[in-house]
Structure 1
Amino acid sequence: MQDTVLIVGAGPSGLVLALWLTRQGVKVRIVDKSDGPGTSSRAMAVQARTLELYRQLELADDVVAAGHPAPAVNFWIGGRQRARLPMDTVGKQLTPYPFLLLYPQDRHEQRLVKRLKALGVVVERQTECLGFEEHATGIVARLCRPDGREEDCEAAYIAGCDGARSIVRHQIGAGFPGGSYSKFFYVADVQASGEAARGEAHVALDHADFVAWLPYDEHGSGRLIGVAEGHETQDAEHPDSLTFDDVGHEAIASIGLRVEQVRWFSTYHVHHRVTDHYRRGRAFLVGDAAHIHSPAGGQGMNTGIGDAINLAWKLAAVLQRAAPDSLLDSYQAERRAFALKLVETTDRVFGFVTADGSFADFMRTRIAPLVAPLAYGIEAVREYAFRLVSQTMLSYHEGPLAEGRAGEVRGGDRLPWVAGADNYGPLSNIGWQVHVYGQPHQDLADWCHWRNIPLHRFDFGPAQQAAGLEQDAAYLIRPDTYVGCADTDASVDALEAYLLRHLGPAT
């Protein structure tokens, strides 16, 4: 099956890759050695950028309705609320989803599985990839079926979405440099009461006894994520022996949260690693198989989903002979650069909130309480924090597919959302398109018709100008809704030269 993509692993990254490929007409086979979606997952946050991309498959509204949109994140130090990031007001001009959506990964996976099944693809459970061989026109993977029988699976490409212990990464010999933190994290699904249990997210930064409260609703149901302080050494070999009673409760109490019932509790080590190869030949690494890091900011699952969508349109273009194989090299160039920056950022945050010692305590409990309210009182700081956490700041400026600039928008940027203009409506079409905010000239319209690329015209006004867009410029939008090329003059020659470099002649 030389037109098929074999996906190993049915977590969120693998499921999203299967969904986006299937939607674009690519055949997939997705296998997972587990017997069903996870039941005790740790990922909770679905960021605004992920929801924007979910609009392409009409998934966003369903996911938002099933989850809990937290309108704000509160930061506590020394038993006092020191800063509040109001997502609903800071982000309302930046994205259709100005909130932090909290939606447990197990429920998230079940929804993705259901949507994939509706498209005619069923996850093959209890099926393990034992390894694969690559040849000139594809790969042959060895699969072990639920009954123990082994079979060969032929495919054009293989995508390892199989987690931190990825067999695909091991098979291609890719390194996984990084390290592990000495501290244990714990996660607990609980029923709680108190002022903090009313629907907003809360983070306490006291004496390295870090804890985050992520609500499922406005009635005290939610998840606690924190440091199992004081258990780094003695329980290193037996973290499963810890219970909720063993972890520090000072930070929990400091935000006025009272835990009344513990429904589920687990501990785990936190690692920070990024593979040195996202691609080798016909094999690709996606999600946790390529990068793992601290849970600071709720970035991990969303980054894996971003990997999958970035890779999906490129695989589809190559398999459908709409682009050369070299396009696939841009996957590593774009996504590995982001993962490295992400790990560096989450490392700094995680290190700050969990560091031991008198100096670290002094910075957290004396300096941070003074600086945080002042910083969050500045609108630009609040907006920057929202863009960073929501991943709407992510760009591919330094990537090989980014060219040009028009207004404040550069090639490689996420297309800015314009409130009230519905300029994201056409993005449900997973394909190249051109946007003009103003009046497109006839040459551009003729070129788009010849290239079979939709041309979308929008009015230009104060809202578009505030978003950084330029009147009458042309923005060539990639299938994953990032700007490929921005041209002030809306030059047909510039756009055609761009596509020839990256996709080849029109067919």
Structure 2
Amino acid sequence: MEDKVLIVGAGPTGLAMAVGLERQGIPFKIIDKAEGPGEESRAMVVHARTLELYDQYGLAENMIERGIIADNVAIFNDGRRRGGIDFGEIGVGLSRFPFVLSLPQDEHERIVIEYLNGKNIGVAWNTELTGYEESGDKVTAAIKNNEGAESLDFDYICGCDGPGSIVRKQMGYDFPGGTYEEVFFVADVMGESDVEGVQVHMSREGFALVLPVRMSGSLRIIGLVPEQVVEKKEEARYKDVEDYVKNQVGVTAETVNWFSTYKVHHRVSEHFRKGKVFLAGDAGHIHSPAGGQGMNTGIGDAMNLSWKLGKVIDGKMDEKILESYEEERIPFARLLVSTTDQVFKSIISDGPFSEIIRNVFMSNVAPNLVRIKAMRRMMFRLVSQIHIDYDNSMLSRGKAGKIKGGDRLPWVKYGKKDNYDPLNSLDFHYHLYGQTSSEMRRHIKNSGLEFCEYNWTAEADKAGVKKNTVMLIRPDGHIAVIDDSNNVERFFEYEKTYMK
């Protein structure tokens, strides 16, 4: 069978796109100009919403086993421990995964590649896209590898090829934003230390995160290269940051497995789509590392787009639904860039306000705030990305109480099970919480979609679900249509508009 989609880039975003398409039986080709999987783990955090999406493919459990739950974060300032933030299961009652997972990006990628290899799907390494032309219902891609060049036809191209995206450049879109002056380093070291959980180190000399890596027993250190080293305009080596790591971070490295430096950008592409070509992940938006949002947002892009492409290619939904991809994802990317930019600057800047942030807020105020239940829930919703909604999307309809079409399905536990079990089907399906009319039941039966009935319980009420609410759930776990007044026409009109 001919490949229908070309995925350019095999980082976390491209791999997530591959997972989404494979499960739907959509043939695709995934390429990357690198020689093999990356070793630079700039992204270390996997948030709850990402784990929920991965769980639909059976990947979440493996990631949790190979990662470390960041249940406590120690705060250091000027080399001294100033306090700690007890995350624990900060999102209890809100998600199957009420925690923050620390998992190095390289290990993350290996897990997904192993999954794809188990499906007899491999990445075409040492292979790059040199250009493409769109004509009619096809996109012809010019591809080059060690064996030569060739032209291949696809229905769609997904550019997941990072900040320097050749796909975005050929689309002709600007990448407005900027680059931080600071240079970051990432190091994987073996050595004596008493690091057990996540550590945040702040001082006038720099900023660093220290995280233990479960699989290798090493420590991953991500921090700022000292200003005096940057001013030399030479490529930094570990010896240039060694004194800072030893004196301020408290880690003496006996072995340095690898070391790399990089700059951080904050940019969002003008658009995420042009015809049959799409952008996802760092190709469309890049952020500061504040909150560990960048990689998770790229994976969210991929999961959003992959089910839509799958439904269109399979002929089950109208191609117009592809318009919703940019509509749903670009507003969040823009908001994320602006907010993480402010947080990042407030932490690393050398000024009185940043001193207050480091010495007072991070060391004293934040740990106390997290002890307040309402604050813990609010913080978890924000950081974990379970708050992302598509209320203004063309694919969202209705409202019942506080829940609207486009919202993520509220997680409700039922004994040892929950209402997220049906999401494993990766298809549209109906939910009923309580009772509904015979007319609504007939419509649901005639739709041919899976029908899941749940009792309306105190847990459902607590999650914000009104009694006798009917929901049409999207493959990605967001609500397409919601109603608690037996408005059959609303569901009928939606299916008639978008489904075939």
Q: Aligned residue for 1:102?
A: 102
Range with bigger deviation, 50-59 or 492-501? 492-501
> In the alignment, does 2:157 pair up with 1:158?
yes
2:307 to 300, 306, 313: 313
Query: Aligned residue for 1:207?
Result: 204
Counterpart position of 1:86: 87
For 1:489, what is the secondary structure of its paired residue?
coil
Deviation at 1:3, TM superposition (A): 6.8
| Amino acid in structure 2 at the alignment position of 1:425 | D
Contact 2:237–2:259 (CA under 8 A) maintained in structure 1: no
Q: Residue 448 in 1 paired to residue 447 in 2?
A: no
| Pair 1:472 & 2:468 matched | yes
Please say if residues 2 and 138 of structure 1, whose CA atoms lie closer than 8 Å, have aligned partners that are also in contact.
no
- Unmatched segments (≥5 aa) in structure 2: none
Once the two structures are TM-superposed, the CA of residue 455 in structure 1 deviates from its matched residue by 1.0
- The question of whether the paired residues in 2 share the 8 Å contact of 1:436 and 1:471 is answered with no
Deviations 1:136-166 (A, max 9, x none): 111001111322x211100011111111111
Look up the SS of the partner of 2:398 in the other structure.
Answer: strand
Q: Which of 426, 429, 432 is the aligned partner of 1:430?
A: 426
* Contact 2:72–2:84 (Cα < 8 Å) also in 1: no
The amino acid of 1:457's aligned partner reads E
Which residue matches 1:132?
132
Asked if the contact 2:76/2:201 (under 8 Å) is kept, the reply is: yes
Instruction: Say whether the 8 Å CA contact 2:87–2:370 is kept in structure 1.
Output: no
The alpha-carbon distance between structure 1 residues 442 and 2, as it changes in their structure 2 partners (threshold 3 A), is farther
1:175 aligns with: 174
Letter in 1 for 2:83: R
Q: How does 1:400-419 map to 2 (within 5 A)?
A: 400-419=394-413
Do the aligned residues in 2 keep the contact of 1:333 with 1:399 (CA within 8 Å)?
yes
Amino acid of the structure 2 residue aligned with 1:336: I
Deviation at 1:309, TM superposition (A): 0.6
Q: Secondary structure at the match of 1:176?
A: coil
Question: Which residue identity is paired with 1:242?
Answer: R
Q: Deviations over 1:383-424 (max 9, x none)?
A: 222222211121122322222222332211111112344111
Alignment of 1:108-147 (within 5 A): 108-147=108-147
Q: Measured at CA, do residues 472 and 261 of structure 1 come closer, stay the same or move farther in structure 2, by a change above 3 Å?
A: same
Change (3 A) 1:405 1:222: farther
Aligned residues of 2:83 and 2:363 also touching (Cα < 8 A): yes
Task: Indicate how the Cα distance of structure 1 residues 497 and 253 shifts in structure 2: closer, same or farther if over 3 A, else same.
Answer: farther
Give the aligned length: 497
What SS class does the counterpart of residue 134 from structure 1 fall into? Answer: strand
CA contact (8 A) 1:208 1:355 kept: no
Task: State the partner residue of 2:455.
Answer: 459
Offset of residue 2 of structure 1: 7.7
Superposition TM-score, scaled by structure 2 size: 0.93
Further displaced range: 24-33 or 73-82: 73-82
Alignment counterpart, residue 227 of structure 2, candidates 218, 226, 230 = 230
Deviation, structure 1 residue 480:
0.7
Q: Is the 8 A contact 2:85 2:366 kept in 1?
A: no
Amino acid at match of 1:73: V
**SS of aligned partner of 1:426:** helix
1:394 counterpart residue number: 388
Q: Residues 500, 295 of structure 1: CA spacing in aligned structure 2 closer, same or farther, 3 A cutoff?
A: same
Residue 371 of structure 1 and its aligned partner are, at CA, apart by 3.1
Matches within 5 A, 1:34-49: 34-49=34-49
Change (3 A) 1:233 1:105: closer
Sort the Cα spacing of 1:55 and 1:220 in 2 relative to 1 into closer, same or farther, 3 A: closer
The TM-score, its normalising length taken from structure 1, stands at 0.92
Q: Give the superposed CA RMSD.
A: 2.3
Would you say the 8 A contact 2:73–2:198 is kept in 1? yes
**1:131: Cα distance to partner?**
0.3
> Aligned to 2:238, which of 212, 220, 243?
243
Displacement of 1:470: 1.3
Q: Distance in 2 between matches of 1:225 and 1:59?
A: 26
Q: CA deviation at 1:315?
A: 0.8
Secondary structure of the structure 1 residue equivalent to 2:146? coil
Structure 1 partner of 2:371: 377
| Number of the residue aligned with 2:482 | 486
In structure 1, the partner of 2:54 is: 54
Q: Secondary structure at the match of 2:164?
A: coil
Q: CA deviation at 1:254?
A: 5.8
Q: CA deviation at 1:232?
A: 6.9
Uncovered stretches (5+) of structure 1, i.e. residues with no partner: none
